[in-house]
Structure 1
Amino acid sequence: MAASRLPHIVLFSGGTACRALNIALCALPVRLTRVVPAWDSGGSSKVIRDSLDVLSVGDIRQALMTMAHGEGRAGDVVKVCNVRLTSGSEADARTEFAFYAEGRHPLLERMEPGLRGAILNYLRIFRAAVGPDFDFRNGSVGNFILTGAHLAHNGEINTAIFVFRKLCDIAGHVWPSSAMSGLDLSAALNDGRTVAGQHRMTALEDRDGAAGIREIALAGPDGGTARANEAVLESLESADAVVFGPGSFFTSVLPHLLVEGIVPAIARNRQARRVFVGNILQCRETRGLDLARMVEIAGALWRGNGGGERRPFTDILANRQLLPFEKTVGAFAYLSTGALEKAASTLGATVTTGEFEDPWQRGHHDGAAVANALISLLPG
């Protein structure tokens, strides 16, 4: 079947939680587009973002590397892009970066000259932009290359991603839901306090997690609106399925609905299935919530951001609860379904319950099981 006629799945997600699903979908006859957050404010991305005032690229790079893994791309470029520098001294990290930027690493030395030249050019652009005092420790070489490409192509992140995909020979698409830099995510807690920053929300302290998140807000530069990436809107036009999750509910999944233009674009595609994939476990963001309440929150946000009378989800995938009592994996309990059938009926969605937990990794999704469930929802 021609690639353009394969079913097109658009997956709104964050980072590691949907890794298994991404890899499983790469093995099936589908076209896959990942839409990732543009408001990452922690780790290596934070250091780059604060230094250069550019779009955070960490989630983009991670999704591209997952796509490469799923497609069986294990060449030298992918290996270089997967490298994380030492977390030792600043001097050691700077020396290690130079080993790559000056082309002395064996992986770079044996590359075809065109590939090698492009990578070195982006690394040198990045080094010149951040200056001599930049802290390279624990930094991702892939983040440095992608940011260098972003700078080289006049701040056009979509062009930078296109070039990065070509360097790594990746077929699948990855786009940030907004191409704007400087987006800030925040949460208002039920006790009236506010938590600012995606990285703080994903690591809520026990007191904050116990209070619970009442609502979230996504602000653009100077408090303006976060506008949708045109590449995402174009992808949604041709989608046969639009999938939300799995992933951190309040930081990786729900905020996409706050990006101006996303919800109306989904609503305009009347043929696509709209699927919410429930998580396996609670997390710091969702302690005490159940799946029914989560889809109700998502439904309210959908209606408030241009969804109109169109139902937010046609289908909800829920992990089967096999025990009649609460059980935990580490610090977190399994996510209960709650009054899911009632919530789904109110939203006009159908619930599919399955054993979606990976039998080898407790608390994680079985990517193949979820992927097969998604495929079964597509027509013919």
Structure 2
Amino acid sequence: MTADPPRAGSTPPISPPPGAVALGGGHGLYGTLRALRLLTDAVTAVVTVADDGGSSGRLRGELGILPPGDLRMALAALADGGPRGALWGELFQHRFGGTGALAGHAVGNLLLAGLIDVLGDPVTALDEACRLLEVRGRVLPMCTEPLVIEAEVEGLGRAGAVARIRGQVAVASTPGRVRRVWLRPSRPKACPEAVEAILAAEVVLLGPGSWFTSVLPHLMVPSLRQALLDTPARRVVVLNLAPQPGETAGFSPERHLDVLCQHAPELRIDAVLADTGSVPVPERLKQAAQALGARAVLAPVGEPDGSARHNPAALAEAVRSVTADPGRWRVPGESLARGASGREENTRWR
């Protein structure tokens, strides 16, 4: 049956906003989400859940819950900048000082731990937190059970020897060279809502962030990996502005892509975004991108002050330029004119 054409003078149906999904964790995901919310309100963060350090590690060890820190940061990145959202966003990021039992804990970590304990389900708890913060979008864990990262590392002992280390903090801070990583349990179950979001998205972003501990783990969850293979969305990799001390020290931009290909050789990418000033040999990056089926797009997406942070508006415009239909997305400059820049200033984190 064919649909009746709209009557003359009738209002055409309103198209839903284009959907974007960002996979990662920590500071890298925070920056990606700040950029994506300039393009659309339909943003979903899919967050790694293997952190075992600091406040998150303490709560995970004591309560057996998902480590809340990366989830908290994603919520703060997407919190609305109105008076209520800005206040709650800042409170979520506030960290207690002193030397007592609360020292080092972020308020948002404790609140998420309480919500999960009361509601019994991390996805429901995160949805409630989104309502509290007036989040534009959704924050989901990649799995609903905490995971453990393990790695093979060279350079920790005699020449040529390979050691195995365990834990996100240990992998992220190792002085050795990480060869590969994997998860425990080895075939974790993905959060179903995260799989659905990837399959329904128009653009999916991997990176930036800690390559071995925040970006690659999503590819080791079978259902998430399959969703990334099956999604009709444009798949975009966003490279870091600089290697991470310890985890990727000495890595070139193209080396990041080589590692991605080694861990997921069947994954095809549509575009690789990199900062113009962070790519010493553009031709090498273009060749590495082509190995993944992608084109390399170089643009000035870093902050003008030279710090290793992405500029939200510049990154948003770069992402918009590689989508299938750029006209479907908000223009970052228009978003800023409507007050998005003020919202950014009001959602501080530390």
The alignment's TM-score, normalised by the length of structure 1, stands at: 0.75
Match of 1:204 among 169, 174, 188: 174
Q: 2:206 aligns with which of 231, 241, 244?
A: 244
The 2-side partners of 1:52 and 1:157 are apart by 13
Q: How does 1:33-112 map to 2 (within 5 A)?
A: 33-68=44-79, 74-86=85-97, 88-90=98-100
Kept after mapping to 2: 8 A contact 1:13/1:244:
yes
Q: Residue 296 of structure 2: which of 344, 351, 354 is its match?
A: 351
Which residue, 236, 240, 258 being the options, matches 1:296? 258
SS in 1 for 2:301: coil
User: What's the offset of the Cα at 1:62?
Assistant: 1.2
What is the distance in 1 between the residues matched to 2:132 and 2:309?
A: 31
Q: Which of these residues, 126, 140, 150, is aligned with residue 116 of structure 2?
A: 150
SS in 1 for 2:261: helix
Q: Is the 8 A contact 2:30 2:73 kept in 1?
A: no
How far residue 20 of structure 1 moved from its aligned partner, in angstroms, is 3.3
Structure 1 SS opposite 2:264: helix
Amino acid at match of 1:184: V
1:189-221 CA-to-partner distances (Å, cap 9, x unmatched) read: 13301221111222223xx2xxx111001112x
- The answer (yes or no) to whether the contact 1:245–1:277 under 8 Å persists in 2 is yes
C-alpha displacement at 1:75, in angstroms? 4.9
Q: Secondary structure at the match of 1:193?
A: strand
Partners of 1:160 and 1:66 in 2: CA distance: 17
DSSP-derived class of the 1:84 partner: coil
Residues 158-205 of structure 1, C-alpha deviation per residue, up to 9 Å, x if partnerless? 011011111222121111111113x10121113301221111222223
* TM-superposed deviation, 1:346: 2.1
| Counterpart for residue 329 of structure 2 | none
Q: Determine whether 1:320 maps to 2:280.
A: no
Paired position in structure 1 for 2:216: 254
Q: Do the aligned partners of 2:72 and 2:109 also contact (CA within 8 Å) in 1?
A: yes
Residue type of the partner of 2:237? F
Question: 1:342 maps to which residue?
Answer: 287
Say if 1:71 and 1:4 are closer, same or farther in 2 by CA, change over 3 A.
farther
Identify if the C-alpha distance between structure 1 residues 313 and 73 changes in structure 2 by more than 3 Å, giving closer, same or farther: farther
Q: CA deviation at 1:358?
A: 0.8
Identity across the alignment (%):
29
1:238 partner amino acid: A
Decide which of 308, 319, 327 is 1:374's aligned counterpart: 319
- Within the candidate set 3, 11, 18, 2:22 is matched to 11
User: Does structure 2 retain, via aligned residues, the 8 Å contact 1:278–1:316?
Assistant: yes
Say if 1:289 and 1:335, in contact at 8 Å, map to a contact too. Answer: no
Quote the offset at 1:337 in angstroms: 5.5
Alignment: residue pair count: 307
Secondary structure of 2:310's aligned partner? coil
Looking at structure 1, the residues matched to 13 and 63 of structure 2 have their Cα atoms a distance apart, in angstroms, of: 42
Tell me how far 1:27 sits from its aligned partner: 2.4
- Over 3 Å counting, the alpha-carbon distance change for 1:374 and 1:73 in structure 2 is farther
In the alignment, structure 1 residue 194 sits paired with structure 2 residue 164: yes
3-state SS in 1 of match to 2:302: coil
Q: Note the aligned Cα RMSD (angstroms).
A: 2.3
In structure 2, the CA distance between the partners of 1:78 and 1:357, relative to structure 1 (3 Å rule), is closer
- Measure, in 1, the Cα distance between the counterparts of 2:203 and 2:319: 8
The change in CA–CA distance for 1:337 and 1:251 in structure 2 (over 3 A counts) is farther
Unaligned runs of 5+ in 2: 1-11, 155-160, 326-350
Distance 1:336 1:255 in 2: 28
Per-residue Cα deviation, 1:4-49 (whole angstroms, up to 9, x for no partner)? 7211111112111243332232222351111111101111011111
SS of the residue 2:268 aligns to: coil
TM-score where L is the length of structure 2 = 0.81
Matches within 5 A, 1:153-302: 153-154=119-120, 156-181=121-146, 183-190=147-154, 191-205=161-175, 208=176, 212-220=177-185, 224-269=186-231, 271-284=232-245, 285-302=247-264
SS at structure 2 position matched to 1:253: helix
SS of residue matched to 2:25: coil
Q: CA deviation at 1:286?
A: 0.9
Q: Is the 8 A contact 1:274 1:315 kept in 2?
A: yes
Query: Cα 1:320–1:35, aligned 2, differ >3 Å: closer, same or farther?
Result: same
